[in-house]
Amino acid sequence: MLRQFGLKKSPWVVHFNCNSCNGCDIELLACLSPLYDLERFGIIHVGNPKHADVLLVTGSVNHRNARVLKNVYDQMPEPKAVVAVGVCASTGGIFRECYNVLGGIEEVVPVDVFVPGCPARPEAVIDGIVKAAEKLDLRRRGQPVSRPSLVPETHEPSPKPAAPPETVPATPASPAAPVAAPAELAKTP
């Protein structure tokens, strides 16, 4: 009975800024402010992946921070979820064509919730975290959790690096999730 209170009611968040222009970052900070108050959902911004349940990523991936993002994700204990905040994290956004940009964070880590917006509004960010928390709980109960993907089906998936031996295999997720199903996306108000 008590078990259902756990993950849903206390998602701890670690934030990693990949390539963001700070727009989404400062909206994330605004989430902490009294006006939006993340903590009322039991959400705490912990700085440390080892304590976190949800990884919030802002900005696209570049050559240097991809490895950092991967490390941060790998260090989080299961069950875990990833929220891509803003268009840059989702697809690369306006910077998609830059020479040092690899694209959305999907290139490196599996994403559970996409939060659109340039920048994403605080309400949308909170909604994204709460949705991720629900997925966490489903994942704990061993139920199948769909992962949305913004990568078109025709797109050739980029060769993912072989997982190092100490990496925990990703929790089974149905690969054929509908592309950016509206229900999975937190909408900007």
Q: Which of residues 51-70 bind another protein (CB under 8 A)?
A: 51, 53, 59-70
Task: Select from 104, 119, 128, 148 the one that contacts another protein (CB under 8 A).
Answer: 119
Does 9 help bind another protein (rule: CB under 8 A)?
A: yes
Query: Does residue 106 contact residue 151 with C-beta atoms inside 8 Å?
Result: yes
Site for another protein in 65-94 (CB under 8 A): 65-72, 74-75, 77-79, 94
| Interior angle at CA 128, CA 61 and CA 146, nearest 5 | 80
Task: Select from 166, 174, 175, 189 the one that contacts another protein (CB under 8 A).
Answer: 166
Does 44 help bind another protein (rule: CB under 8 A)?
A: yes
Query: 59: left (phi > 0), else alpha (psi -120 to 50), else beta?
Result: left
Does 106 help bind another protein (rule: CB under 8 A)?
A: no
Q: How many alpha carbons fall within 13 Å on the CB side of residue 21?
A: 12
What own/partner pairs with CB < 8 Å and gap ≥ 24 does 165-169 have?
A: 166/74, 167/74, 168/74, 168/78
Region of 25-33, 124-132, 145-153, 174-182 interacting with another protein (CB under 8 A): 25-33
**63 or 179: CB nearest another protein:** 63
